[in-house]
């Protein structure tokens, strides 16, 4: 007997700042994300874009919406400070310095 694999769409929630004072960053990011693959590991990828208008409270609402209403599998969002973002992408070896 063979077990059948259950496949489901992969939902990726994305919070961007497409409007407001930092819109240029969000618009550029969205244009890049539109080039992301349409399938991941053979499963269809659905991307859900929400705009927080550069407002932290709107970003929190968007993340809650993505989790509670859209039931996303993954979230892509910015951090509040550039320094935090840079720190998060450095290699472990560089962090020890």
- The ranges assigned to domains in the chain are 10-89
Do 33 and 50 form a contact (C-beta atoms < 8 A)? no
Residues 12-54 pLDDT 10s: 999 998 888 878 888 888 899 999 999 988 899 999 999 988 8
According to the model, what pLDDT value does residue 83 have?
Answer: 45
- Return the CATH fold of 10-89: Rossmann fold (3.40.50)
Choose among 53, 16, 7: nearest CA to 34.
16
């Amino acid at each position: 007997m063979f077990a059948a694999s259950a496949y489901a769409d992969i939902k990726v929630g994305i919070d961007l700042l497409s409007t407001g004072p930092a819109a240029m960053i969000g618009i550029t990011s969205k244009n890049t994300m539109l080039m992301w693959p349409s399938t991941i590991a053979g499963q269809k990828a659905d991307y859900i874009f929400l705009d927080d208008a550069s407002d932290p409270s709107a970003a929190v609402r968007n993340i809650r919406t993505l989790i509670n209403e859209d039931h996303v599998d993954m979230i892509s969002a910015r951090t509040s400070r550039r320094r935090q973002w840079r720190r998060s992408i450095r290699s472990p070896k560089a962090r020890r310095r």
